[in-house]
Amino acid sequence: MYERILVAVDGSPVSDRALVEAAKLAQLSGGELRVITIVDSPLRHLPDYAVYYNPEPLREAALKAADDILGKAKEKIAEFPVKTSFERVCQERASEEIAERIEIEAEASKADIIVMGTHGRRGVRRLMLGSVAEGLLRVSNRPVLLVREK
């Protein structure tokens, strides 16, 4: 069935729910779970005229937030007896979209399926899907399981 499951988390309630569903799926299928959180590039949020701004404090804060998200994710699925890895993933290019980075990570880990919440902490909410979820549906070459908030 699904041997390698990638789940993208951002610490939001719907992301937590997607994580639990991914852990259940891994338990049922005997698969491995890879939990990632994307560290957004601080440069993509700076205006062009801020060329002399030091983005390092923003980057350090983003890395700490990612570590906190992964720590909470570990606690959330500790009861599930599945092989799990947790990783923060930094965007390589300021122009790269989060959905593209998730797909690149899925490809690198040879994931059979990607699981994520429909809305998270990033971007402006859309009527039906979050912008990252919608973007992932457009770029992914594998099944995507989107989990809605209750």
Q: What pLDDT score does 123 carry?
A: 46
Distance CA 136, CA 141 (A): 9
Size of the chain in residues: 150
Q: Per-residue pLDDT for the chain (150 aa), expressed as one digit of tens each?
A: 899 999 999 999 999 999 999 999 999 999 999 999 998 776 665 666 666 677 778 788 889 999 999 999 999 999 999 999 999 998 866 667 889 999 999 999 999 999 999 876 544 444 445 688 989 999 999 999 999 987
Q: What is the pLDDT of residue 124?
A: 43
- The SS3 of residue 7 is strand
* Segments in the chain forming alpha helices (H): 13-29, 56-76, 98-108, 131-139
8 A C-beta contact, residue 114 and residue 6: yes
The answer to whether 80 and 26 have CB atoms below 8 angstroms apart is: yes
Sheet with 84-90, edge to edge strand ranges: 84-90, 32-39, 4-8, 113-117, 144-147
Which residue range is the domain that position 93 belongs to? Answer: 4-147
The number of folded domains in the chain is 1
Q: What is the CATH number of the domain that holds 78?
A: 3.40.50.620
Report the predicted TM-score, pTM, of the whole model to 2 decimal places.
0.86
